[in-house]
Structures are given as structure tokens and as C-alpha cells.
Amino acid sequence: MLILLPPSETKRPGGTGAPLDVDSLALPSLREARDAAITALVGLSADEEAAMRVLKLSERQRGELIANATLRESPTMPAVDRYTGVLFDALEAATLPAAARRWLHAHVLVHSAPLGPVAALDGLPAYRLAAGASLPGIPPLRRHWADAVTAALGELAPPFVLDLRSEAYAVLGPVPADIPHAYVRVVTAGADGAVRALNHFNKHAKGELVRALALSRPRVRSLGGFASWASSHGWELRDGKPGEIELMV
């Protein structure tokens, strides 16, 4: 099973890892697209006022441009440790035992805006870039990444993909149609019995789910296998729209 996670807008600063090594990242066929996105982001950051407008940053966020300008030289940390926010706080990857972290690295890709999907323990520098941005010199990120990421996932050919990304990131790299996959929506049933989608708890539930998977390290190769694991570990799933499953919380 391959799990696709969205990134988070918020990130831990600093790091102790060596500077970004694009050649060491998962999905090496994305090298050209990664270099182009990095070059565009670093180049944009040379003009602070333009970067503030393009990236829609407030004055108090101006300091984040330094991370973009030094993206190639700044220290890194594992992707699952770099991101903060609701999903990654619930995942608590830094507290997982070594075996669980290795499982994450083998089974989880985090879909970053400047680098595309990276493996859980791939070294990632701090940066500021959202999925909806348009960088000078390259197409809007949706067009820049979609075909390349879909092709890279096709080359990887996992037996089953569990897509936990937000819709904004899912369109940056649709899972190939010929690879079995399911897009996850987190929902809850109200007192009136109506099922509603969640926002904050959507992210929290996804983080808890991935943590539970990492701790149990199952060998899942299909939606049925995932459903069986979920049922045996206290997670409730139900069928959603075609291509989707609903995670009940």
C-alpha cells in the first residue's frame, strides 16, 4: 500500500540534515520538474515585494521568504518531522519507534508544492509555497505537476493507493486510473442521522489513522485488505462516491 498525504502550510524551522539533495528524493523521474520549480521559487524570492504578492504573504510573514531564497543551501529534516499543523501533530512521527518510522518511509509520500511527492524520511528544507500558486517561468503548479506525478506514480506501480490528500493537492498528481486506489473523506453522523464532512477533525483523523498504520505495520495490498485492517483496529469505513471511501469519526 502507498499512502499519499498533503503537506502543511506550517513547518518547523531549521534542521540538522545536509542541504537538499534532489537526486536522493523518492520518485526520481520528477528531477526535471523539481529543478524547474525550485529555480522558479528561488528566483521569485529575489524580489521580495513580488514574492509577497505571488505567495500572498502578510508583512509578518516576510521572514519566510528567506527560507525560499536559501532553499538549496538550508538544512533539512525528514518530511514527516518538517510539517506541523493538525494532521502532522496527530501523527506525532517524532515519537514513533524506529520500525514505525521505517514503515512510514516505505509506504508514505507527502505531496509538497515545490518538490512533488517525497518519501516520509526524505530530507526537506523549510519553504513557503501553496498548491494554488503560480510561479514565474513555469506553468501554474497544477499543470506543472499533474502529468509528471501521475507518470511517476505509474512507474512506481503500488498495488493499492490510499489518497489522504486535500483536493488542492490531489489535482497536482492524480493517481493513475489503472492503479487501484481510494480517496478518503472523513465524515461524521449528526444527531439527526445526516452524514457531514469535517474540516479540523478531518486532518486530525487522518493523522491518527496513519499513526495507527505505522505502529501496526500491516501488509495491505488492496482496498479490501485496508478495510479488514481498519475493522480490526477500531476504524469505521463505508463506501462513498465512486473511487472514494468515507472514514467515520
Residue 142 confidence (pLDDT): 95
β-strands 195-197, 181-189 pairing? antiparallel
Domain boundaries, the chain: 2-248
4-47: pLDDT as tens digits: 999 999 999 999 999 999 999 999 999 999 999 999 999 999 89
Question: Please, which pLDDT band fits residue 116 given cuts at 50, 70 and 90?
Answer: very high
Q: Which of 242, 24, 33, 30 is nearest to 154 (CA)?
A: 30
Residue 18 confidence (pLDDT): 97
Residue 201 confidence (pLDDT): 83
Residue 208 confidence (pLDDT): 97
Q: Which residues pair with 187 in a beta bridge?
A: 197, 248
- Over range 98-106, report the average pLDDT: 98
What span, in angstroms and rounded, lies between the C-alpha atoms of 75 and 93? 19
Spatial CB neighbours of 179, under 8 Å, sequence gap ≥ 6: 153, 154, 157, 158, 160, 161
This prediction's pTM: 0.95
What span, in angstroms and rounded, lies between the C-alpha atoms of 10 and 85? 6
What span, in angstroms and rounded, lies between the C-alpha atoms of 105 and 54? 33
160-188: pLDDT as tens digits: 999 999 999 999 999 999 999 999 999 98
What span, in angstroms and rounded, lies between the C-alpha atoms of 222 and 237? 14
120-162: pLDDT as tens digits: 999 999 999 999 999 999 999 999 999 999 999 999 999 999 9
188-246: pLDDT as tens digits: 876 666 667 766 689 999 999 999 999 999 999 999 999 999 999 999 999 999 999 99
